[in-house]
Chain A
């Protein structure tokens, strides 16, 4: 891709070139602009116009690492960050594997992730979309007469990485979305649910899709009751599958493996899930809103197969974990301006199986179709794999959706959930966080209720 915006890269290069003898310097420079319009009660509740920029500087001397960042590209602050990173490096302890990434020859995917049309959309049109979304959500079903908020938001960002080891990387991406939280009220009961429409350009968005999604999700939970404690089959809708997949992706992180915090350490080549399951992290797939050309250390992003027909293929690595584990970076360094590169997936997706959502649901005699999960941060332990979350959804009886339930939990371990998968749908859905999910069926799960 031609560097038609080399200015940011030039800033990074200038910092990297300040490296002294025996010193490695990396500069990660990022800049973004965003708009957010919130509508409520037929008025604009708030309109935010924002632009941010920042730089993170990493210095490695004698295998010791130091880091500092500044939330501005102001010359003085940038130099202060470099000086602070150098000073901080005196206090890190030496680690023979500490070093910056070096160019690895992997070709950069030819991706067009830049919404060129977005910058020409007038603010007034963004305001109109947020207002229209509120009207569309409140005008269709007598039980939905208000929203908590209806919103249009967009963000465009560019980032550059330069190092004294020869890395020169620059990329940019953007997206926009419509989101609405609908309030459904009936017989003194209130339910709230969100509807979304996401894309790169405004033309990809659909007010109707977001409004319909929110109305359906809020109204179908009206009249929900607490179910009895029992064992049943879980049917996960694509966005729930994607959420669980992200948790599993975190456990296949090379850093967690090296530091003895992953239950999947040492299991490459073994079956860790049902053979029905295949999933990859592929940032080069432009269908994913997580798609990127470069990772946080400036290496080309690439397709990484994690599990193929149930067999663990490997772990995601950045340059440190790759070096230390005797493999190599998989181009999976993740970071913001304010942090050193960690390891993570950005575009995890399940390979589609067979059958539509209805086909898959039709095979379930007695189950729960899960439409929301709560308490993931408090109830899922990525080290032990213990899994216990609050759920809402619809019971499944004889292959059909039945009555709504709430105030219940499901519990298992992530390891068990993967092994027990009994059906994988073909209904791939891409989600705002860049992950792709399908309908998934897992039998014999403990549901806690009354």
Chain B
């Protein structure tokens, strides 16, 4: 992506007034999106973002500058700015020898986005619209969206690291609106993988569209959600966001180090039932958070965070792992070259447990069954978290009965984690997610088997 001598010269400039580490992150991202809305292909758009972020670390201070100008002069100016921002008053010339490191990719790409005719991308959209509208006459509006991106990155630093990745993502989403005398309801479904257009050889957009439409139709007849605290059974796949919010963010080393996590100082302690093993895994082939290297050049890896209920590790970025003198975990990520990296999740999931999912429901006299969750949010300092249920039912006499309307659930991460009393043997990954932290969004995946939380608060009205 960039000449190696130019990289070396740029890193030298960044360090010429002193500093312990200089890093250059180069990104070249091409993306395309097509939107079908209101019965027609609304438009096709494409974009190109290319630039470099340069940071210099001096003690506990990071200086950062970025530029869209990848010429020698443009890079030198950004390197000067980053160095000046971090200036320690030291200085001197530093020779940098770069050693290229190849990273194993989580999966191969068969069909790159740029090799696919635009007409083929657009054709998927109409098929989705027709399938969603065919699901029922109450479907009154459909929005289908196709998106792909190819993000090539290069990371080099003054420790001699030089590595690259070529990240491809393909996404398809459908939102349907169903209308009746009772008002309007929406249903949403999405599919995303870190592969190219071959995604559509394995998945039918019609299936996705029907799932979105069925979800909207189901809710037309839904009862108001109950209000208060009760047992909640979460279905396989749909509920991974529970762990992402309930404990994932709290295990990010930057928050832990600042005392902003309820999980600080708890390594080695029992935090959950022995049936719970939680993993963050950037190497999981094709899943939405998969990568070969993180945005600091560390190899993606499979990290066990909770093993048989015992808290075993946090997630780390370059700054925190250097400070603590421990290996990096491949969790240093950034939204783009314009952002500083921080600790982020990749694919976060709970391994399958021993219990029969049908029995878990049968053993729950009354409660709520959540088949599909929307997003969530956590206050890592208190551990309180919310997440939205986008498809949920009442459990009455051990049976899943009537659908209920949308709403948030609220709970406390450590308390919920410690209380989970059933873990199914039916693991599934969920829908592609976009995780936000301090204003930066990165793609993440999650997954869980069926599980039961004995007491969660349902934010309904009934």
**A interface, CB within 8 angstroms of B:** 40-41, 43-53, 65-72, 74, 77, 80-81, 84-85, 87-93, 95, 123, 146, 148, 181, 183, 185, 189-192, 226, 229, 258-261, 263, 338-340, 374-375, 377-379, 381, 383-386, 388-390, 392, 406-412, 446-450
Contact = CB atoms under 8 A, between A and B. Distances in A.
Interface stretch (B41-49, B102-110, B151-159, B352-360): B41-49
Given A72-B68, A72-B69, 18 more contacts: A66-B45, A67-B46, A77-B48, A91-B122, A190-B382, A191-B381, A260-B140, A260-B141, A260-B184, A374-B379, A375-B375, A375-B410, A390-B377, A390-B386, A407-B410, A411-B225, A446-B227, A449-B228
Contacts of B376: 375, 378
Contact of A409 (B122, B412, B459): B459
A70 B382 contact: no
A384 B43 contact: no
A336 to B, nearest CB: 11
Interface stretch (B8-16, B92-100, B199-207, B255-263): B255-263
B338 interface: yes
Lowest 8 CB-CB distances: which A-B pairs, in order? A378-B388, A409-B459, A375-B386, A388-B407, A379-B408, A192-B381, A71-B49, A390-B386
Contacts of B381: 183, 190-192
A50 B461 contact: no
A74 B68 contact: yes
Contact of B407 (A88, A377, A409): A409
Could you say which of A148, A181, A185, A412 has the most chain B C-beta atoms within 10 Å of its C-beta? A148
Contact of A84 (B46, B51, B459): B46
A129 B258 CA distance: 21
Contacts of B340: 46, 48
Interface stretch (B17-25, B55-63, B279-287, B307-315): B55-63
A43 B411 CA distance: 35
Nearest to B457: A448
A346 B152 CA distance: 35
A48 B64 contact: yes
A148 B254 CA distance: 10
Contacts of B46: 67-69, 84, 88
A444 to B, nearest CB: 11
B203 to A, nearest CB: 22
B293 to A, nearest CB: 22
Nearest to A218: B381
Which of the listed residues A93, A181, A226, A379 has the most CB atoms from chain B within 10 Å of its own CB?
A379
A378 B410 contact: no
B429 interface: no
Interface residues of B, number: 80
Contact of B44 (A52, A66, A410): A66
Contact of B460 (A44, A47, A52, A448): A448
B34 interface: yes
Contact of A50 (B50, B65, B375, B379): B65
Nearest to B339: A48
Nearest to A42: B60
17 contacts: A46-B62, A48-B85, A50-B64, A72-B68, A84-B46, A92-B43, A123-B85, A260-B141, A340-B45, A375-B376, A378-B376, A384-B183, A388-B459, A390-B377, A407-B384, A409-B407, A411-B460
A5 B299 CA distance: 46
Given A66-B44, A68-B46, A384-B185, A448 B458 contact: yes
B374 interface: yes
B434 to A, nearest CB: 10
B41 A45 contact: no
B408 A81 contact: no
Contacts of A50: 64-66, 338
Contacts of B459: 379, 388-390, 409-411, 448
Nearest to B260: A148
A407 B45 contact: no
B136 to A, nearest CB: 15
Given A185-B259, A374-B377, A411-B461, A390 B225 contact: no
Considering residues A183, A385, A446, which has the most beta carbons from chain B within 10 angstroms of its beta carbon? Answer: A446
A260 B179 contact: yes
Nearest to A47: B85
B240 to A, nearest CB: 14
B215 interface: no
A65 B458 contact: no
A43 B140 contact: no
A191 B379 CA distance: 9
A181 B255 CA distance: 12
Contacts of B373: 378
Given A263-B184, A384-B186, A49 B65 contact: yes
Contacts of A146: 258-259
B228 A406 contact: no
A48 B37 CA distance: 39
A43 to B, nearest CB: 5
A384 B406 contact: yes
A124 to B, nearest CB: 11
A67 B43 contact: yes
B118 interface: yes
B145 to A, nearest CB: 13
A189 B140 CA distance: 49
B262 A388 contact: no
Contact of B61 (A45, A80, A449): A45
Contacts of A65: 42-43
A72 B245 CA distance: 36
A449 B458 CA distance: 8
Interface in B380-403: 380-382, 384-388
Contacts of B48: 69-71, 77, 80-81
Contacts of A123: 85
Contacts of A411: 225, 227, 407, 459-461
Contacts of B412: 407
A346 B8 CA distance: 45
A385 B183 contact: yes
Contacts of A384: 183-186, 219, 405-406
Contact of B408 (A90, A378, A406): A378
A95 B38 CA distance: 11
A83 B410 CA distance: 49
Interface in B53-89: 59-69, 81-82, 85-86
B119 interface: yes
B461 A412 contact: yes
A43 B61 contact: yes
A259 B43 contact: no
Contacts of B229: 229, 448-450
B79 to A, nearest CB: 12
A70 B47 contact: yes
Contact of A379 (B63, B141, B386): B386
A67 B47 CA distance: 9
A283 B359 CA distance: 58
Given A389-B459, A407-B412, A52 B68 contact: yes
B47 A71 contact: yes
Contacts of B388: 375, 377-379, 388
A207 to B, nearest CB: 21
